[in-house]
Amino acid sequence: MLENFSNFRILSFDCYGTLIDWEKGILGAVVPFLHSKNVKIPDETILELFAKFESEIESGNYIEYKEVLKRVFKNICESLTIKCDDKEQSLLLESFNNWEPFTDTVEALNLLKKHFKLAIISNVDDDLFELTRQKLGVNFDYVITAQQVRSYKPSSEVFKYALKKFGISRDQVLHIAQSLYHDIKPAKELGLSTVWVNRRMGRKGSGATPFAEASPDMEVPDLITLAQLIENTAM
């Protein structure tokens, strides 16, 4: 359990799923399409399919995230025996700019920015993150993307690249994320302190990320809880 945050200089964040409500964005794009094809399946099934295909594609040879999203949607359609043309395969990618922050994200980031440098470590392309940056309400000191590393989390290479960019010891970095699979497990294996933002608290399954077992140093239900805890500790 983390009790003292004063040793940390940089807070690094996963973006999509942690700061941005990507499950709402994914479902907002996919559900209407499936309904148009007279296919109705539970939302959780859609998210599980997304998690399965995204992780499989990202574990292969590197391709840009724009192409990952296209292939994920194509695979979802094929798994449900739905035909989708080239234009329809871009549905998830075209919805990306509609993926919005969680309601607590901007307030929490602004509180945390008062005390730390902030970094993004995200499985995304540089230009796609630029579509998101303005929605987050703060200036990040570092932005590390899969495109820069040409590798996707949970690869340790992404975190090693970030640590090299930060130029400080790993005990001065606190990594904050929703995905046990993509973030908490590999970050812990590298010796980083971690906070699990359990955005799915009270819901079954792991949603749009594959299941994984990990032991974060702290668990919170949302980002504002962490920000207020740190704010109160700093006072």
The per-residue pLDDT for range 137-196, each reduced to its tens digit, is 999 999 999 999 999 999 999 999 999 999 999 999 999 999 999 999 999 999 999 999
What is the model's pLDDT at position 226? 97
* Domains along the sequence of the chain with CATH: 10-21+100-234 (3.40.50.1000), 22-98 (1.10.150.750)
> Is the per-residue pLDDT at 56 higher than 90?
yes
14 catalytic, yes or no? Answer: yes
CB-CB contact of 112 with 19 (8 Å): no
Beta strands in the chain (DSSP E): 10-13, 117-122, 142-145, 173-177, 193-197, 218-220
Residue 235 in this model has a pLDDT that exceeds 60: no
What are the CA-CA distances from residue 124 to residues 158, 159, 175 (Å)? Answer: 12, 14, 17
Distance between CA atoms of residues 59 and 224, nearest Å? 32
Residue 233: band (very low, low, confident or very high) from pLDDT cuts 50, 70, 90: confident
Percent of the chain exceeding pLDDT 90 equals 97
pLDDT, one tens digit per residue, over 100-143 is 999 999 999 999 999 999 999 999 999 999 999 999 999 999 99
Q: What is the mean pLDDT of residues 38-60?
A: 98
Instruction: Cis check for the bond before 216: say yes or no (omega within 30 of 0).
Output: no
